[in-house]
């Protein structure tokens, strides 16, 4: 029943946007982009503040008209930066924290745009990368770990910023081809070609990005940092082949295949492998 209601709702929204595209095409494209880029969950408030984050040192950064939140578990001079994915927040790292803390490292987690305690309604990777760069410039982490779209943001970040302070990167369950994600959204709402072309033009105009070039595989080919890529063959959110694409062009990266973890990839054995890669 819920699936039927969701199907009718999405198709109704798509029908409205398609109709609007013939009357007010710019407004229709903006509405389609807003629905695509605005997360429906992942926000935090003091009323639902996770216990794992209560034990961290919280710091808010200002960047242009936005603010973003970081959480620090202090340790030694070795520093790890954690970057969550879509409709999530810094609390998603709760399970891996004990493994990382065994090394004595300082650990910093960030809330992405429109997630956690960070401001805004729109999530986009270039802005997320700007947040990451501010944290990297201040804290000089040697290690970077990203999950899902957070992992893709890490790939984008290092390919564009080429930060020499980063020694190793861990990418978990991350997509490669952004166009696949956008095409799935267009197919879900049955949006017409006017909206499809409008969305592509939006990315080119606002982010100076051609969707074919906005690829994790392409980003990875420019990265010299050592990498560890893990992807689950049962991932129904980001297909296993996406992880293989990233691994195919990253010269100095290890690919680790898991099974039965799904997209979340919470697993003791995986976390042990990540720790070994980072610290041994």
The 10s digit of each residue's pLDDT in 165-188 is 999 999 999 999 998 889 999 999
Evaluate if residue 3 carries a pLDDT over 80.
Answer: no
Residues 93 and 104 in one domain: yes
Residues 200 and 109 in one domain: no
The pLDDT assigned to 9 comes to 79
9 or 95, which is more confident? 95
Contact between 17 and 191 under an 8 Å Cβ cutoff? The reply is yes
The pLDDT assigned to 2 comes to 61
- Quickly state the pLDDT bin for 11 (edges 50, 70, 90): confident
Residues 123 and 238 in one domain: yes
Q: What does the pLDDT average to over 109-131? A: 96
Residues 33 and 100 in one domain: no
Evaluate if residue 77 carries a pLDDT over 90.
Answer: yes
Instruction: Give the count of alpha carbons within 13 A of 273, CB side only.
Output: 19
Residues 136 and 257 in one domain: yes
| Per-state percent for the chain, helix, strand, coil, to nearest 5 | 50, 20, 35
Question: What is the 3-state secondary structure of 206-257?
Answer: HHCCCHHHCEHHHHHCCCCCEEEEEEECCCCCCCHHHHHHHHHHCCCEEEEE
Residues 64 and 116 in one domain: yes
Indicate the pTM of the whole model.
Answer: 0.94
The pLDDT assigned to 117 comes to 96
Structure tokens given for 22: 């013939």
The pLDDT assigned to 8 comes to 76
- Which stretches of the chain are assigned E, i.e. beta strand? 57-63, 66-73, 79-83, 106-110, 143-147, 168-172, 226-232, 253-258
Taking the CB of residue 108, how many other CB atoms lie within 10 A of it? 24
DSSP state of 93: G
Listed residues 214, 230, 259: the one ending a domain: 214
- Quickly state the pLDDT bin for 48 (edges 50, 70, 90): confident
Evaluate if residue 1 carries a pLDDT over 60.
Answer: no
What is the rounded CA–CA span in Å between residue 278 and residue 102? 12
Residues 138 and 32 in one domain: no
Residues 278 and 195 in one domain: no
Tell me the per-residue pLDDT of 129-146, one tens digit each, with 9 for 90 and over: 999 999 999 999 999 999
Q: What is the total count of domains within the chain?
A: 2
Residue 251, domain extent: 53-177+215-280
CATH code of the domain in which 266 resides: 3.40.50.1820
Residue 107 pairs with which residues in a beta bridge?
73, 80
Residue 59 pairs with which residues in a beta bridge?
70
């Amino acid at each position: 029943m819920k699936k039927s209601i969701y199907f009718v709702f999405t198709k109704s929204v798509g029908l409205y946007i398609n109709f609007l595209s013939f009357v007010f095409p710019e407004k229709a494209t903006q509405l389609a982009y807003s629905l695509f880029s605005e997360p429906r969950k992942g926000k935090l408030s003091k009323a639902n503040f996770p216990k794992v984050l209560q034990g961290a040192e919280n710091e808010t950064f200002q960047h242009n008209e936005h603010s973003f939140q970081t959480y620090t578990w202090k340790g030694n001079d070795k520093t790890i930066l954690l970057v969550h994915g879509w409709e999530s927040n810094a609390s998603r790292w709760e399970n891996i924290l004990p493994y990382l803390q065994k090394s004595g490292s300082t650990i910093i987690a960030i809330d992405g745009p429109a997630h956690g305690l960070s401001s805004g309604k729109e999530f986009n990777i270039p802005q997320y990368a700007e947040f990451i760069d501010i944290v990297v410039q201040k804290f000089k982490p040697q290690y970077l770990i990203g999950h899902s779209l957070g992992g893709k943001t890490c790939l984008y970040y290092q390919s564009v910023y080429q930060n020499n302070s980063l020694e190793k990167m861990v990418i978990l369950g991350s997509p490669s081809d952004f166009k696949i994600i956008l095409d799935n959204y267009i197919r879900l709402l049955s949006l017409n070609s006017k909206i499809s072309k409008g969305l592509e033009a939006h990315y080119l105009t606002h982010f100076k990005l051609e969707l074919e070039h906005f690829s994790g595989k392409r980003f990875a080919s420019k990265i010299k940092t050592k990498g560890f890529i893990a992807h689950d063959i049962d991932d129904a959110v980001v297909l296993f082949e996406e992880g293989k694409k990233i691994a195919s062009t990253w010269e100095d990266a290890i690919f680790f295949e898991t099974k039965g973890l799904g997209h979340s990839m919470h697993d003791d054995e995986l976390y042990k492998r990540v720790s070994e890669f980072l610290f041994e």
